[in-house]
Structure 1
Amino acid sequence: MNCNQAKHIKIVDFLSNHGIEPTRVYGDYAWYNSPIRTDKTPSFKVNLSKNQWFDVGAGYGGNILDLVMEMNATSITGALMILQEPELSKPSFSFSEKQKSSGIEIKHVQPLQNRALLQYLSSRKIPAKIASLYVMEAYYKVKERQYFALAFKNDKGGYELRSKSYKLCSTPKYITTIPGNNNSINVFEGFMDFLSAMVFFNTRKPANKTIILNTTHNLRYIEQLLKSAQRINLYLDNDESGIKARNEIMKLNPNVTDYSSITYPNHNDFNQFLNSNNYENKRQKK
């Protein structure tokens, strides 16, 4: 599937396939509670004829690829993989029909032992002995299809779900906090980068309080905490969203060290650096 093909998938079909239904349909618009932020009053609308979305509260919108990237904190490549779900190639549903959609249903969570998931971690240079301290494996269902994935739990009971083929999350989407020294706070964008840092620093537990955002949109939940921190260590992505988050954090508190520009300035994220020749060369010099 390429980008042009993906844009023909209806946004309402994608949302329904993930258990998200409109609160009302008025004229050419379907209104939803926002799938990309906390939203008590429906302010996310989809233009049915143009197949475009706009989040009134967030102040931006776009096409289906933009939406999938926002919802899953992924790249265009990741969005295209997610949009290859067979159900999305079926004809669009009618809003007059009652839909039976349960979205992502977690059936079972257990300690990490699935061989395919362990091989996936190995391909990302993450040892099982470190991953198993923070990651479980989940068996879940999307409609009638069964899947399994790495499961990284957030503070509200939702899971970030990762496998070789999929990058999804179950609701609610929220931050993950790992206890430590409260004076200093480490901030990571995703859990794979947090695990990469554990490998890089050759430790099993961070000394400082550590927050994994699970998406930069969750930054709003920790703004007050960051304002009062004596020191903040950033391990964000070196892309547009990561740079934007870094700038917002530096406005909240000047006591920031941006390790994304110090440790892996020539790579998009910590895990990409971990898998690079630069990391191997740096490790040999230690």
Structure 2
Amino acid sequence: MRSARRRITCAQVNEMDLVVYLETLGYKPQKIKGCNYWYLSPLRIEQTASFKINQQLNQWYDFGIGKGGGVIDFAMLYFNCSVKALLHSFEGTGLITPIEKSFIPPPESRIEITATEPLYLFPLISYLDKRGIDLNLAATYCQQVRYTINGKIFFGIGFKNNSGGFEIRNVFFKCSSSPKDIKLFRNGYATLSVFEGFLDFLSFLKLFDGTVAAQTDYLILNSLSFFEKHLDFMKTYSKVFLYLDNDKAGKSATDIALKTGPAFISYSGIYHAYKDLNDLLIGCPLPTMQSPSDEQGKT
């Protein structure tokens, strides 16, 4: 019998060490004086550290905005969420693992990438692990990105597209920076595998890398809105293998392609009981997987 979810209280959350908590978010103090830890504010952009944590009191104060408090107060401001949503994000381990949600900034907002570097932050690596993707594989195709929205600083896993924009994922948000575009990997093959998002692409490599199924060029759409726009490009390949989502939008795009010509082949049946390849990766053991095709040929 499945055990009931453990309820987390505000008091329990506020017992978390703020210094340790900020470290898990990727923030390190600029200076330490006794029990006072000084940071560049995680809540806005600044050049001089004016965000202080008193570790003895386990309280923070941002002198730039005149606000402070405990862990709950900080997390609500940082993630722009309610107390209820924050408490629901806690699992039985006591670690914050909020439910991922798509994040669309207000029209006046702009996602700005301020730095890129190799993946190393524990929350991002932990997120990948929960999605079944190991760090070595992710590091080959992704970067750790530091980005701002309305002056607030965030960190995420960044997947760079053909135009220099990024698809960004972390445990809280799914978002993207401009310009939005596809990502194409030309590997010299006459066949093409098509995926909706980069997590599906990485899941495919995790499942089939080293097999004949992986011997194709790769097209990651990053948005189904690019699918029909690139149909003519896909037709330049002798065969096109579709790994689109098993939802209404994914099935609709698949139907359009299959009606276009015999070059298009859908392999969504491999994960018919799952929404996408990543759900398959998480839900099924690798030994049960089979290679989708041995017909691809290299030019």
Distance 1:209 1:176, change over 3 A: same
Give the alignment's TM-score, normalised by structure 1.
0.62
Aligned to 2:276: 269
What displacement does 1:256 show? 2.2
Aligned to 1:151: 158
Matched residue type, 2:285: Y
Unaligned runs of 5+ in 1: 1-75, 89-98
Matched residue type, 2:247: D
Correspondent of 1:233 among 241, 248, 270: 241
What displacement does 1:260 show? 1.1
Aligned to 1:115: 122
Aligned to 2:49: none
| 1:87-121 deviation line (CA, Å, top 9, x unaligned) | x7xxxxxxxxxx9x551010001112222111110
Aligned to 1:72: none
Counterpart CA distance in 1 for 2:242 and 2:229 is: 16
Partner of 2:218, secondary structure, is: strand
Matched residue type, 2:111: I
Aligned to 2:265: 257
Correspondent of 1:215 among 197, 215, 223: 223
**Contact preservation (8 Å) 2:258, 2:265:** no
For these two proteins, the number of residue pairs brought into alignment is: 191
Partner of 2:232, secondary structure, is: helix
Does residue 129 of the first structure (1) align with residue 152 of the second (2)? no
What displacement does 1:259 show? 1.1
Counterpart CA distance in 2 for 1:236 and 1:179 is: 20
Correspondent of 1:78 among 101, 104, 114: 101
Counterpart CA distance in 2 for 1:77 and 1:247 is: 29
Counterpart CA distance in 1 for 2:143 and 2:163 is: 16
Does residue 187 of the first structure (1) align with residue 194 of the second (2)? yes
| 1:45-74 deviation line (CA, Å, top 9, x unaligned) | xxxxxxxxxxxxxxxxxxxxxxxxxxxxxx
Partner of 2:240, secondary structure, is: strand
Give the number of the structure whose alpha-carbon radius of gyration is greater. 2
Correspondent of 1:282 among 285, 288, 293: 288
Aligned-pair Cα RMSD in Å: 2.5
The 5 Å alignment of 1:61-100 reads: 78-79=101-102, 82=103
Matched residue type, 1:120: Y
**Contact preservation (8 Å) 1:181, 1:207:** no
Counterpart CA distance in 2 for 1:202 and 1:232 is: 18
**Contact preservation (8 Å) 1:235, 1:259:** yes
Counterpart CA distance in 1 for 2:101 and 2:261 is: 33
Counterpart CA distance in 2 for 1:189 and 1:149 is: 19
Counterpart CA distance in 2 for 1:160 and 1:253 is: 31
Q: Where in structure 1 do 4 or more consecutive aligned residues deviate above 6 Å? A: none
| 1:183-240 deviation line (CA, Å, top 9, x unaligned) | 1010001100000011101449942111000011111332111223210111110001
% identical aligned pairs: 31
Unaligned runs of 5+ in 2: 1-98, 291-299
